[in-house]
Amino acid sequence: MGRLEGREYPLGLQMHGFYGQLREWMGLENLSVAFYDQPELVRAMVAFWESFLIETGAKALAEVEVDFVRLWEDMSFKSGPLVSAAVFREFFTPAYRRVVAHFKTHDIPVIQVDSDGNVGLLIELLTEAGVNGLHPFERAAGNDLMALREKHPQLIMLGGVDKRALAQGKKAIEKEMTQVIRPLVAKGRFVPHVDHAVPPDVSLEDFSYYLDLKRDMLEKG
């Protein structure tokens, strides 16, 4: 671990979150039904995963100063979360609060969740549970980044660069970076990056142009 000391870049733990892992085990449809037909099974899986997250990170957290923890969930689609607020609060909120509290005992400042889809309602649920960061704010799902920033000024936001704009040429990329991304950067607590995997129809030339614009914007402010 000595090579990680004195580093000049952020270091984090990447783990599966509660909903994401349960869906991996059961499948979307089976899990959706289990909340109602097998609630004790769901609670048992959540309790196991809570312990798993804490125990698997123990060695790293004992030896390395970690800057963030990222929990993969992917629990929203284009219209909102894949579970209701009531289901989230009943099955996931208590475990999230305990896991977040555990990570904070290690002075980890950022606990973020990875979820595609429209995350407006999901933000409310996650921040209630102690999460303070989210990404990638997929624009195709209707996320209005400035509206979300105004509503959640303390939230750490990452992503937000519309992957579709990168395939539309330099003028579209410049418009995206100057009209959408620059104002968000100016607000603070925002790290811009592509809001999902870069599509295959984005040329290397255009992607390089986007990177150059972003570097210039971040360096000059």
Q: What is the rounded average pLDDT of the residues 7-27?
A: 95
145: Cβ contacts below 8 Å, ≥ 6 apart: 137, 139, 157, 160, 180, 184
Whether the predicted pLDDT of 2 surpasses 70? no
Rounded CA separation 18/61 (Å): 20
Whether the predicted pLDDT of 124 surpasses 90? yes
CB 144 within 8 A of CB 121: no
Average pLDDT score over the chain: 94
CB 91 within 8 A of CB 35: yes
Domain chopping of the chain, boundaries: 1-136, 155-221
According to DSSP, residue 14 is labeled E
Whether the predicted pLDDT of 119 surpasses 60? yes
Level-2 CATH architecture, domain 1-136: Alpha-Beta Barrel (3.20)
pLDDT at 52: 96
Rounded CA separation 50/54 (Å): 6
> What are the pLDDT digits (tens) for 18-62?
999 999 999 999 999 999 999 999 999 999 999 999 999 998 899
Residue 1 confidence class, pLDDT cut points 50, 70, 90: low
> What are the pLDDT digits (tens) for 55-88?
999 988 998 899 999 999 999 999 899 999 999 9
User: DSSP for 29-66?
Assistant: HHHHHHHHH-HHHHHHHHHHHHHHHHHHTHHHHHHS--
